[in-house]
Amino acid sequence: MAGLKRTISTGTTRLSARASPYNAGATSFESDTNPASPRRSKRIKLEPKVEETLEDIVETKERAVKVESATSGASKKAGVAKTPRKPKPIPQALAVPHPAPPKWQETYTTIKQMRARILAPVDTMGCDQAQHKETDPKTKDEVTDAAVSKLRDALGGSLTVDALIVADDATISEAIGKVGFWRRKTEYIKKTAQRLRDDFDSDVPKTVDELCSLPGVGPKMAFLALQVAWDLYLPYFSLAMTPT
């Protein structure tokens, strides 16, 4: 009985049963598969999926920006420069003037009569009033007016181009700290003062395109500056609605 051997098939593996030499009441099973050539499993082990966190996404983007910046810097060192974008000219007048609204002149006259009896902040402050407080003729609201007055005092009493150039950033920032985006505007003020001295003889430019070439200046402020600084009323604003 000890040497009795019988084979059992399980479909893919053949097992041989034989009596245990150590216990007559026990049966041991052995595989007939050759251990030298084990059957290869067709199952594919999948790696656990790792979810990408927000920090991973940000880190990946920052790494890409650094690589792009390094590549751009290498290109500049190699003498490869990008072609500067040609500035788009600012229209000085509309090709087709807007038609005058009906009864606009009666409305305009009524508003003038109402405003004659009311003192608004625009009457005592703003871009057209700031120049009256200056000793140097070359050079919106309550917050802006207060910031300009504080900056004027910090620079010795007048907002001159030379005074802005020699002033440090901290002095300008402390004066205009109540206005929005004061850090960016501090940079704009310094760069604009430098441009005015180098390119415009420390004076206000006389065209919309030149004004818009200054840091932080857009078409609206350019037209207002021309009106206030040079008493120029362009047809872009007046058109057919200019009161007679």
What are 97's two structure tokens? 């003037």
- Taking CA atoms, 224 is separated from 89, 151, 193, in Å, by 17, 21, 19
Answer for the pair 60, 192: CB distance below 8 angstroms, yes or no. no
What are 91's two structure tokens? 């229209």
Write out the H or E segment, with its range, that includes residue 42. Answer: none
Neighbour order of strands in the sheet with 14-19 = 5-9, 14-19, 27-31
The answer to whether residue 220 is catalytic is yes
Spatial neighbors of 221 by CB under 8 A, at least 6 apart, are 127, 211
Residue 79, phi then psi, degrees to nearest 5: 90, 10
Short-list 49, 46, 41, CA closest to 13: 41
Per annotation, catalytic residue among 45, 82, 86, 220:
220
What are 78's two structure tokens? 């190699």
- Taking CA atoms, 148 is separated from 59, 125, 166, 171, 237, in Å, by 41, 10, 17, 12, 27
Q: Give the DSSP per-residue string, 55-120.
A: HHHHHHHHHHHHHHHHHHHHHHHTT--PPPPPPPPPPSS-SSPPPPPTTHHHHHHHHHHHHHT---
Active site residues: 220
